[in-house]
Amino acid sequence: QDKEALYLKSLAATCANCHGTNGRAVEGSSVVSLAGLQKSYLVAQLKAFKSGARPATIMHQLSKGYSDAQIDQIAGYFAAQAK
Amino acid sequence: QDKEALYLKSLAATCANCHGTNGRAVEGSSVVSLAGLQKSYLVAQLKAFKSGARPATIMHQLSKGYSDAQIDQIAGYFAAQAK
């Protein structure tokens, strides 16, 4: 895997802690799956968390640490995962 | 409560999600209590998470979203909580 793919994987790894590996959340968990969702939807949610437009428990704080470019990469990564 | 105290409480509220209300973690939980720890220790850990010097599952990402001033305020808040 080239450097870019590894970097992307490390970015998305943080999300796995709550959203499951490759964004497939555990059945019945209160946390939503991310795998296969529309990229534009994911970008919009992350930006809403980041701006505070969407209330959250920790997503607002997590998203603050990502640049818009990273948000785009993360959203693309999960959009590409099989549901 | 004045504006400053409310702001500080909202900063620390994010931590409560995992570290418990006022940083008193639930008995036996894998997450450490923060209440009453030394401020300098808390600042050092948050900065180590932020710089990546200390490995983490989500703390590295959470801490990236705080300025050094906020880190100082958060550390002070939890250091002042009764154990």
pLDDT digits (tens, 9 = 90+) for A25-47: 988 778 899 999 999 999 999 99
Give burial (CB, 10 Å; 0-12/13-18/19+) of A77.
Answer: buried
- Are residues B14 and A61, on separate chains, in Cβ contact within 8 Å? yes
Residue B45 clears pLDDT 80, i.e. is over it: yes
Hey, is B81 helix, strand or coil? coil
Say if CB A26 and CB A20 are below 8 A apart: yes
Residue B74 near residue B37, CB atoms below 8 Å: no
Angle between helices B3-19 and B68-79 (to 10 degrees): 80
The answer to whether the beta carbons of residues B43 and B75 sit under 8 Å apart is yes
Which domains are seen in chain A, by residue range? 3-79 (1.10.760.10)
Alpha-helical segments (H) within B1-83? 3-19, 39-51, 59-64, 68-79
Would you report the helix, strand and coil content of chain A in percent, each value rounded to 5?
Answer: 60, 0, 40
Residue with the bigger pLDDT between B19 and A1: it is B19
**Contact residues on chain A for B61, CB-CB shorter than 8 A:** 14, 62, 65-66
Q: What ipTM is given for this predicted complex?
A: 0.74
Q: Is A17 on the interface with B (CB under 8 A)?
A: yes
For residue A50, give the nearest of A65, A72, A35 by alpha carbon.
A65
Q: Check CB contact of B61 with chain A, cutoff 8 Å.
A: yes
Provide mean pLDDT across the span B28-47: 94
Contact B62 A61 (CB under 8 A): yes
Top pLDDT among A1 and B13 is at B13
Q: How many CA atoms lie within 13 A of A17 on its CB side?
A: 16
Cβ separation of B58 and A60 shorter than 8 Å?
A: no
Place of tokens 């979203």: B65
Across residues A49-61, what is the average pLDDT?
93
